[in-house]
Chains A and B, each alone.
Chain A
Amino acid sequence: MQILLDNADFASRMLQQVANGLTKGSVYALVAVGYTMVYGVLALINFAHSDVYMLGAYFAYYPARWLGYMPDTAEKPKAPFWLMGMAFLGAMAACAFIGALIERLAYRPLRNASRLAALITAIGVSIFLQNVGQMAFGADPKSFPRYVDQSSVNLGVISVGNTSILIIVVAFLMMAALHLFVQKTRTGAAMRACAHDMKTARLMGINVDATISITFALGSAMAAVGGILVAMDQPRLTPTMGLLMGLKAFVAAVLGGIGSIPGAALGGILLGVAESLVGGLWDTTYAEAVSFVVLIVVLLVKPSGLLGRAGREKV
């Protein structure tokens, strides 16, 4: 009997860990989408993507602060629903603009340079944004406005935070919408064409520059949503909050197969659940190493990832 009880207890804890992992993984997926789309088109790891994620969270913070919803007290007034909607849309628009701007200013001049030069520039842009963020927002952490009240929802043997459910649902909807956009619209078709072969796409009359800008804008908007969702669940903003998230989301993109949007979704979820289960079953000290080990193993065993197409060497 005791064994049965223990097992039931164990099973419910693991179920809880899977739920934790799903929450974490949904955000990884949402951020990974941006990496995967850019890599698909430009074959560039956009290191600055994780900092756009950070900016998204800050952009949703300041309106509430300006309107007086962030007093320095324990109990903060709840921000109204319209403000949350505005924060989401505003941050998405602002991040989309910044993402496209980064591409225009930093990456476009290097489009025909070596990929190494582009990669180094991307690292430079990332460090630049982090430190400009520190100058503009301050290094001290900020807490996040009360857009939603955190509470836990009881689902039988496990309890899940309402923000977790929000994260999973919103992330799933956003990615489904994006997938439909890329598959069904003309712009989406142009993006796919550019990813396939940029030169030919240009010859076919596709405005390649505009398409790349749209790719950056879309990916950045997704990162902004990710940033806000995480800040709702874990209300602390810092200029370096994108660092770990960016690394993991990139690993998720590689795991799922870089260039593939469903791949990014799958990779993100798998990575999140794997981290939680390693932490739950073994030791949280090593859970952080999971993503790096996964990265190296995937790169060595199947660099094209789970859902990616194997690339071919162009001589």
Chain B
Amino acid sequence: MRKALALVLVCLALAVFFAGCGSKIGPGYDEKEVYIGLFVSTSGEIATFGTDTKNGVELAVEEINKAGGINGKQIKLIAYDTASKADEGKTAATKLATQDGVLVSMGAVASGISLAAAPEFQKYGIPMVSPSSTNPTVTQVGDHIFRICYLDDFQGGACAVFASKDLKAKKAAILQNQDDAYSTGLADFFEAKFKALGGEVVAKESYKKGASDFKTQVTNIKGKSPEVIFVPCYYNDVALIAKEFRAQDVTVPLLGGDGWESDKLIPSAGSALEGSYFGNHYSQEDDNPKVKKFVEAYKAKYGNVPSSLAALGYDVVYVVKEGIEKAGDFDRKKIRDALAGLKAFDGVTGKFDIDENRDARKPISMLKIEGERFAPVRQIKPEEVQ
């Protein structure tokens, strides 16, 4: 008992001694550099998305630093891998906030990881801008959390509008990955909007993460003869799913969201996706000189065509830059206010405002798969979906 008491006293004494040393965070810059954090998954299941994002970010940082930096300071990028795990999002965020003392942080791709990281940045008053977390709850964490992509409710709704108005479908089927919040979220928003537009969802089938046999689900969907099939999944599942639909002689178009986009989609799906559609953040074939310049620079640096995640990664750096420049000062509070009031930002992924929920209001580009091309069909604006 006496020993325990002594221990408590020692702890207390140490606590008093060290009090105040621990929880202070750095200013986020020094004479020459401004510290900006990045946390994306460059390993694990969703490594391709994180790697593309990081490539886009690094390209933008390089450009900005060459052009003289932000308000005369060079960007020092501090990047951590979150290994496709939510837990790692929290540890990375804590590290960025307290050990590295970043001024602003960027990340993550997956909403689950952003959700785990956001409370940390909110706690320390560090603005966090997610390039591509589409789940609506992400920015609800607090007033320091922003995003520059559209939301799942809009994305799912836009796909429903496209299915109903452009494809003139009355009967749709859904095939979702039941273990993935992105997939089930899109599926629910699509279903609600499609029904509101007078359509009928004739089948809603699910599969487990890691499954590669979709025969049962496809047979069920085939039995309901839908006119379009919504498959809100990631590209590597989509390729297998498409093959199975064609193997069972289902020829109606498939429809999906931004998870489809990958330069590996067509090589692994072959011709099974010919004539299918998906919604994306931008089109690589856009005539906009800004996009052209970006695509050229990216190709020169990495050797392949940039995915939309790379484009969002590129844009998020410029959003942060504009936020800091508008604030006029390296002060986190002022930067937060500047970001919250950002209007008509002109990026590679389109012109957009940051709205009162700290989300980006921007259109979605519907693309059609033709051979090895993603051909732009049309853009759907936020007003069309509401």
Contact = CB atoms under 8 A, between A and B. Distances in A.
Interface of A: 9, 13, 16-17, 20-21, 23-24, 72-76, 139-141, 143, 150-152, 159, 161, 164, 230, 233-236, 238, 240-241, 243-244, 275-276, 279-280, 283-285, 287-288
B268 A236 contact: yes
Nearest to B268: A143
A24 B215 contact: yes
B239 A143 contact: yes
Interface in B208-225: 208, 210-213, 215-217, 219-220, 222-223
B47 A139 contact: yes
Nearest to B178: A285
B249 A152 contact: yes
B206 interface: yes
Contacts of A241: 210, 212
B287 interface: no
Interface of B: 43-45, 47-48, 178, 205-208, 210-213, 215-217, 219-220, 222-223, 236, 239-240, 243-244, 247-249, 263-264, 266-271, 371-372
A279 B269 CA distance: 25
Contact of B210 (A9, A143, A164, A240): A240
A19 to B, nearest CB: 8
A275 B219 contact: no
Contacts of A240: 210
A141 B207 contact: no
Nearest to B269: A74
Contacts of B215: 20, 23-24, 164, 276
Given A20-B215, A234-B213, A75 B249 contact: no
B372 A74 contact: yes
Given A24-B213, A288-B211, 20 more contacts: A13-B220, A20-B216, A72-B263, A74-B266, A74-B267, A74-B372, A75-B270, A76-B270, A139-B43, A139-B44, A151-B247, A164-B215, A234-B213, A238-B210, A244-B208, A244-B210, A279-B205, A280-B216, A283-B206, A284-B207
B260 to A, nearest CB: 14
B206 A285 contact: yes
Contacts of A288: 207-208, 211
Contacts of B372: 73-74
B45 A139 contact: yes
A159 B249 contact: yes
Nearest to B46: A139
Q: Which 7 A-B pairs have the closest CB atoms?
A: A279-B216, A20-B215, A143-B268, A234-B212, A288-B208, A141-B236, A285-B206
B310 to A, nearest CB: 16
Nearest to B224: A13
B264 A243 contact: no
B247 A13 contact: no
A83 B243 CA distance: 23
A13 to B, nearest CB: 5
Contact of A159 (B47, B236, B248, B268): B248
Contacts of B48: 140
B103 to A, nearest CB: 32
28 contacts: A13-B219, A13-B220, A13-B223, A16-B219, A21-B216, A23-B213, A74-B269, A74-B270, A74-B271, A74-B372, A76-B270, A139-B47, A140-B48, A141-B236, A150-B247, A152-B249, A164-B215, A234-B213, A235-B240, A236-B212, A236-B236, A244-B208, A276-B216, A279-B205, A279-B217, A284-B205, A284-B216, A288-B208
A275 B222 CA distance: 18
Nearest to A164: B215
A140 B239 CA distance: 14
A238 B266 CA distance: 18
A228 to B, nearest CB: 14
Contacts of A244: 208, 210-211
Contacts of B267: 72-74, 143
